[in-house]
Structure formats: C-alpha cells, structure tokens
A and B are shown apart, each in its own frame.
Chain A
Amino acid sequence: MMRSSLGSPTRLLRKGWAMAGARYAVILIVALGAYALVLLIAGKDPIQAYADTFSFTLGSRYGFSEVLVRMIPLLLTAIAVALPSRLGLINVGGEGQLYMGAWLATWGAITFTSLPQAAFIPLLIVLGFLGGGAWASVAGFFRARGLVNETITTLLMNYIAPLIVGFFVYGPWRSREMGASAFPQSAAFPSAARLPQFLGTRVHLGLILALVALVAFWFVLDRTKWGLKMKAIGGNPEAARRLGIRLGVYILVAMFVAGGIAGLAGMAEVASLHGRLRAGFSPGYGFVGFLISWMTGGSPVGILIMSFVLAIVFSVGSLLQITQGVPFAAINVLMAIILFVVLARPRLALSTFGRKS
C-alpha cells in the first residue's frame, strides 16, 4: 500500500537511507582528501586546519552553537535550490535572492522603527520573503515565457543584487553614528527588530524558520497534488503540458517561493547576527546551498544532514583564512571538488528518490 509517492515499502526506504548516508560519507571523504592535497601543494598544513576545526566545532558548546548558526542560511539556500530543481529548474541565484531579502527587510527595519517586536518579526519575515521572491521571479518570468534559461539570468542577477545593497549602504542608508566601524554600514536595527536568540548563544529564530521551510518543502512535494504536478514538470515537461498542467504558472510560483526562502536567509543574517546591513555580508551562502542541493539530490533529510556537515566544513575556510592566510575564495576549490565528485559518479551521487540527472 503506497502511502507516499516515494513508492517503496519502509524496509527499502531504510536501506535507501543507509545507502545515501554511505554515499555522502564517500563524497565528503574524497572531497576533503582532495582539498587537503590542494592545501599541501599550496604549502599549508591541512591536518592542523582540520584538527583545529573539529575540536572547536564539536568540542565545545559554543563551537557547536556556532555550527548551528552557520547552518541556518545553508539550510534555507539549499531549499531555495532544491525546490525549483524538482521542476527541472536550476536556480543559482540564491546569493542574489539572499541579498535582496536582506535589503527589503532592512528597509522595513529602519523605516518602521517604532513597532513592537511582536509586530516586527512577522513584518521582517514577510519583507525578507518578498524581497528574495520578487528578485527570483524575474528569472522565473523569463523562463516561463521561454525567453531565457533561468541559470543564466539568476547568475547575472547575482552580480546586480550586491551592487544594489552596496549603493544603499554607501548612500541613503549610510550610518552617521560616531565611532562606527571603518566600513560603511546601515543604521542599526532597532532592538525590537532583532530576531530573538536562544539559550545565550547566537542561534536565532532563523533556525525555526528554516526547519519549518524544510518540513513544508517535504510535505508539499511528497503529499500534495501540487507537488505531484511539480515533479511531473521536472520529470517530463512535455507530458506535463499535455496533461493540462500550466507550466508557466508553476515555474513562476516555484521560483518566487524559492527566492523567498533564500531571502529569509538574508533577512535572518542581518536581523539577528549583524543587526545592520553591510555590503558583502554573505561569504557565498547561496553557492554552498546550491552545492548541498546537488550533493543530496534535493532530498529534505539529506539537506538537513549536509547543511550541518558543510557548516562545519565552512569553518575550515574561516580558520584557514585567519591562521594560514589562505584567501577565503579558496574554499571554492573545496566546493568544486565536491561538485565534481558528485557529477563524476552519477550512480552514487543521484538521490535514491528518483530525481532525473
């Protein structure tokens, strides 16, 4: 009896998860090993770097909470890629959508300064979602009309969004405070506009948002009729069209929602961690989210696991930058290696949940 569209009895499912787990482990080991090699060639000490990272992140309460903090934007940007991927769309614009969500939320925060927190939080959520969603809708619209592939559009728009943020941060929103940091930034958010943090750590409300988004993503795709239609579009758009499914509408909505989720990531970063908008505040969360989605084949459980793991790995990057002077952009090499391993071993890397390659 088929309870869900996964279409396999529980025993097979558990075996599928074991296989998936093994697959992720292999990918990570190979990737980390290759990256260690790259570091060695560059004259750095990978063992020390990895050891430092693991002891910090897994060895202390604070370190662990920092991993969770890192994980939040990764979860959200990964969903932002995974959702459209079910329709066969490739959304590489997480970065730009994230910035625009942060931008619109900042506007709300510094405009409606006198709102109480109970009103601010929903407002920020809505604005963050709208900002990213509207940004992604441009690409969705072009694609729905058959004009341009969304991959190119979102990539190009990734360059424009930080410029918009930069313009506002250096311009109309520039903070005039005395003793402010050397780098231009926006005025501080009123305290009511800050997302609450938990248990004395920096882990914030964004985690709840991310988990809710993850569950909703799984539920809609696995159980609802809209999810079935979306998977049909991803599986065979021509057949979907002939079955009466309106491709354009679904493409547009999927991109809007995906962008909105990425926008929430941006909003959460600025509203809770920084408390103000800064230019270039994202170290590439959008791209890492893309990577996570591809590694896991867009599976919700996989995304949860891998966001956690990559949050740890991401810390390697910052550590290397501080301790060994490796430019942060070098983490791109690690991401490239992971993506390469995923793509080069299609049988291992494809999700067991049947997504087409």
Chain B
Amino acid sequence: MNWVLIRGVISGTIMYGTPLLYATLGEVVGQRAGMVNLGLEGILLIGASVGFAVSVVTGNSWLGVAAAGAGGAVFNLIYAYLVVNRRANQLASGLTVMFFGMGVSAMLGRAFVGEGIKGLTRYQIPGIASFSWATKTLFSYDLLVYLGIPVALLVWWFVFRTRWGLNVRAVGENPSAAFAAGRRVAWLKYQAVLVCGFLGGIAGAHLSVALARTWTEGMTGGRGFIAVALVIFSKWHPLRAIAGALLFGGAVTFQLQLQAQGSSISPFVLNMIPYAVTLGVLLIWGGARRFAAPAGLGRVYHGEE
C-alpha cells in the first residue's frame, strides 16, 4: 500500500464525486416532485459544453459555470414541457433531452475541441499550510468541491424544512392531493425541473471546466444515468446522496489510479468498473428501496377533469 496511491484515491474520490453529487441532488429534487429525468445525461453534456465554451470565450471560468447552470435549467424546460404540458411518458421525454443534449453539445463543442483553459482555482483549507506538502495536495480543491456538502445541506433544508419543499413533495407523492390543497401543480413541477437542470448544468461544468479542463464529445460517459441510479441508492434523500457520490467517485478514481500506475489490466475492463458498480448498487438496493420512492414517481398527471 503506497501513500501516493491512497492520497490519490482520496482526493480523486472527492474530486470525481463532486459532479455526481450535484447531478444526483438535482435529480433528487426532480424525483421528489414525481419526475424521473433520464435526460440528465444530456443536461450534463450541455453544462459541460456551454461551461467550457463560455470559459474559453470570456476567459472567466466562473462565468462559464454560471452559464452552464443557466443553460442546463433552460434546456430542461424541454423535459418539463413534454411531461407537464403534453403529459408524455417521462422516460421517453427524458431520452429526448438526452438526444438533444448529445447533439447540441457536440455541435457547440466542436469549435472548442483541443482548447485548454486554466480552470477553476484550487484553494487550500486555511491552516493546512502548516502540514507537510503531501497533506497539502490532499486538501487542494476548487470552490465547487468545497461547496458540495453545503449545497447538499441546503437542498435538504429546502426540501424538508420549508413550505416550498413541502409543496414539491406533496406534488411528487400525490398531485391530486396537492391540487386539492390549492397548490399549483404544474408550476411546482416546472420549478423542480429548473432546479434539476441548474444543478445538472453545474455538474457538467465541473467536469469540463474544473476536472478535465478541456472538451471532448460525449465526455460525461453515462454519469447522468449513474446519478439517476444513485438517487435510488440514496433513498431520495439529499444527504445520503453524498455517500452515493463518494462511492461512485471512488470507483472512478480506483480504476484511473490503476491505469496511471501502469496496471496490467486492460483499460477497457477498468473503464467498466463504475458501470458495474452502479449496476451492483441497483441490484442490491433497488428492490428494497422501491417503497421509499415518492408515491407519484413516474406517473403522468392528467389533471382533474
């Protein structure tokens, strides 16, 4: 067991887990409102491409992140429109956004392939400076990483301790009941979808602007679907999503480290690890978790008349 490997795994877990955390949090909010959005992958791609493009063009990475969030939110309106206004099947609507995201991000990102940026500055926790250089590298992350857990807490507070969250959860459990209580179901669903899109956009931006600091077509590699799986794993709870994100971040890091260390295992097999882990998670926890899902999840709400 060498120290370099452990250090790399820990910091990698946190770094690679961060986009997953934001994406999962976004999807949790959407699913709490009763909507499964498989288009999260498309949102991530939009976030990554828009974030990167704006960062290159303006030279300001934070502007890129903000644009990615806004872009993701707006893009998710496609999903909201199909599901809420046209009452379409949620899974298929999500796939529509996925296709859109794949195509638009490819077209948008084409002009920026091969560009590089400085990315988001990495800060150290004050007080760490007094430790050895090894520990310093361990605790050097960009702001989005540090904000990860506070954002999770914020999402938790909003969903479980505020009137807005109560309304959103009611819509997700039983839209008829929410309507009978005088809530505007459609508007609340739109709000949840916008939040999901915003957080997903941020997640994508972190991938391209902070981690890879470049753009490649399809660079999100299915993280959107993994996030959807992690929502089940976290029992639709924002704080448990942290554990899920770390689990996945760990899987990715583990295989990346093995590759970097010159392992003899084929990179193809190593690349399979995150997906296999996700499938395993679903297999183990998927059945039992069913009952924790919002009661109205996935159902189309047809209104009252």
Contacts and interface: CB of A to CB of B under 8 A. Distances in A.
A contacts B directly (C-beta below 8 A): yes
Contacts of A42: 107
Contacts, number: 122
B106 interface: yes
Interface in B84-142: 86-89, 91-93, 95-97, 99-100, 102-104, 106-107, 110
Contacts of B99: 287, 332-333, 335-336, 339
A146 B229 CA distance: 15
B282 A340 contact: no
B169 to A, nearest CB: 21
Interface in B180-208: none
Contacts of B271: 163
Interface string A84-112: 00000010100000000000000000000
Contacts of A145: 287
B2 interface: no
A75 B168 CA distance: 42
B91 A90 contact: yes
A329 B226 contact: no
Q: Taking each of A151, A171, A326, which has the highest tally of chain B beta carbons within 10 Å of its own beta carbon?
A: A151
Contacts of B217: 327, 329
Q: Chain B, interface size: which category?
A: 35 or more
Interface in A154-184: 155-157, 159-160, 163-164, 166-167, 170-171
B103 A331 contact: yes
Nearest to B110: A327
Interface stretch (B153-161, B171-179, B273-281): B273-281
B275 A159 contact: yes
Of B81, B103, B283, the most chain A CB neighbours within 10 A belong to B103
B103 A167 contact: no
Contacts of B95: 92, 290, 339
Contacts of B283: 142, 147-148
A345 B87 CA distance: 10
A141 to B, nearest CB: 10
Given A334-B103, A335-B99, A166 B268 contact: yes
A357 interface: yes
Contacts of B81: 344
17 contacts: A146-B290, A152-B225, A153-B282, A156-B226, A156-B279, A159-B275, A163-B268, A163-B269, A326-B110, A330-B103, A332-B103, A336-B96, A336-B99, A339-B92, A339-B96, A340-B82, A343-B89
Nearest 7 pairs of A and B residues by beta carbon:
A333-B103, A332-B103, A336-B99, A329-B106, A167-B268, A343-B88, A336-B100
Interface of B: 38, 78, 81-82, 86-89, 91-93, 95-97, 99-100, 102-104, 106-107, 110, 217-218, 221-222, 225-226, 228-229, 266, 268-269, 271-272, 275-276, 278-279, 282-283, 286-287, 290, 300
Given A171-B266, A357-B89, 5 more contacts: A42-B107, A156-B278, A159-B275, A327-B110, A329-B103
